[in-house]
Chain A
Amino acid sequence: MDLSDLNSAEMQKFYSEEQQRAMVNEMVAKLTSECWDKCITGTPGNKFSSSEHNCLSNCAQRYLEMSMLIMKRFQSMQ
């Protein structure tokens, strides 16, 4: 493999996939951080209570809904 192969179609596909993966990981990491702060208010136990569990799950889903809402609102302003 020489320098020109770094830009081959195969490598481009690879870069694109890895970039996607990294973006997804980053989103999960940020959301986990925020939702942890919102939902896990006490000292961590041996397992999550069902309300903590539901809060985390809801947190992620509400964030997605909110993102759609923001996009729609933004689009309606164009």
Chain B
Amino acid sequence: MDSFSNPSSGSSHQLSAQDLKNQLKSQLALEYAQQFLETVGRKCFEKCVTKPGSSLGGSESSCISRCVDRYIEATGIISKALFSGPQ
């Protein structure tokens, strides 16, 4: 993203409002992603790594993969239930 040759900004070194908005949005999205990963990590560690060994076994790895997919799916289900209202 090149904000130095943005024709809509007066001076070539100023940040436009749109640039600022984009930067803030990116920052928020990054923080959201970090929190999400932290939560998924906790949940899936709890479900899938019940007796930590000297390495992650095959069944633990596939459990973790499925767990991540399911958690993402669960987020969608909750989201939909909250905003589509009762059926």
Residues on A close to B: CB < 8 A? 1-2, 5-6, 8, 10-11, 14, 18, 21-22, 25, 27-29, 31-33, 35-36, 40, 43-48, 53, 56-61, 64
Contacts and interface: CB of A to CB of B under 8 A. Distances in A.
A35 B47 contact: no
Given A31-B82, A44-B47, A57-B81, A1 B74 contact: no
Interface of A is mostly: helix
B36 interface: yes
Nearest to A42: B47
Interface of B: 9, 14-17, 20-21, 24-25, 28, 32, 35-36, 39, 43-44, 47-48, 63, 66-67, 69-71, 73-75, 77-82, 86
A35 B32 CA distance: 19
A33 B82 contact: no
A1 B17 contact: yes
Contacts, number: 88
A25 B9 CA distance: 32
A56 B78 contact: yes
A33 B39 contact: yes
B49 to A, nearest CB: 11
Contacts of B17: 1, 5, 8, 10-11
A36 B40 CA distance: 11
Contacts of A60: 77-78, 81-82
